[in-house]
């Protein structure tokens, strides 16, 4: 893409403006660090554009306090700025506040996906960040066929970014933008645990 120009112009009948403003499905996958971090950066850009952002974390415990969550919750709204809702599955979704056990995780993932589908149908957000969503798909907790059908039929102008390792090839094929984070080197390889400001 020299100087930000596309390499081809598809014969799709769309104007340049229509093509530029198509809502995207984005996937951040791979074994490297930075998948969620990149998605949070995208959410910050959207907030600055006045978007409604819905963040749904499918694996992280509700007890974990990420630096990004604290920062997003402190962002102002109004005057052309967006808004951010942050929900975690860990101990039951933030709208249900149920205590969760290992046996409840599949049901909680299905509940979260059902709520996201409801919101997409109602066009509640401009950007949906489905953090670590590849895992419940891979574990069979959320049906991939349903995910693909929902993403393909979502109304209006709603962007979706999905993070997590080992994204299913069919999800990769359906996405408009896919980035694979490749680990070259990591401090954990040398026995160093995660630290504040880097991992959370």
Identify how many contiguous H helices and E strands the chain contains and give both numbers.
7, 6
**pLDDT tens-digit series, residues 125-150:** 999 999 999 999 999 999 999 999 99
Judged against a pLDDT cut of 80, whether residue 14 lies above it is answered with no
Judged against a pLDDT cut of 80, whether residue 5 lies above it is answered with no
- What tokens does 165 get? 């390792």
pLDDT band at residue 83 under the 50/70/90 scheme: very high
- What tokens does 146 get? 């349903």
Average pLDDT over residues 166-180: 98
Range with the lowest mean pLDDT among 50-54, 113-117, 181-185?
A: 181-185
DSSP string, 144-198: HHHHHHHHHH--SS-EEEEE-SS--HHHHHH-SEEEE---S--GGGGTPPP-TTT
Q: Note the CATH number of domain 38-162+174-181.
A: 3.40.50.300
> pTM, whole model, 2 decimals?
0.87
DSSP annotation of 102 reads G
């Amino acid at each position: 893409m020299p100087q930000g120009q596309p390499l081809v112009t598809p014969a799709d009948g769309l104007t340049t403006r229509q093509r530029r403003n198509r809502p995207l499905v984005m996937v951040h996958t791979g074994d490297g660090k930075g998948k969620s971090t990149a998605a949070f950066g995208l959410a910050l850009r959207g907030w600055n554009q006045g978007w409604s952002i819905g963040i749904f974390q499918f694996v992280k415990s509700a007890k974990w306090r990420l630096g990004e969550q604290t920062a997003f919750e402190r962002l102002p709204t109004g005057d052309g700025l967006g808004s951010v809702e942050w929900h975690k599955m860990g101990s039951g979704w933030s709208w249900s506040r149920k205590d969760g056990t290992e046996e409840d995780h599949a049901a909680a993932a299905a509940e979260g996906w059902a709520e996201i589908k409801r919101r997409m149908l109602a066009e509640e957000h401009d950007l949906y960040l489905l953090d670590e969503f590849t895992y419940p798909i891979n574990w069979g907790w959320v049906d991939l066929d349903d995910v693909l059908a929902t993403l393909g039929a979502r109304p209006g102008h709603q962007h979706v970014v999905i993070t997590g390792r080992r994204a299913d090839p069919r999800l990769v094929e359906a996405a408009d933008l896919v980035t694979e984070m490749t680990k070259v080197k990591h401090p954990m390889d040398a026995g160093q645990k995660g630290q504040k400001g880097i991992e959370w």
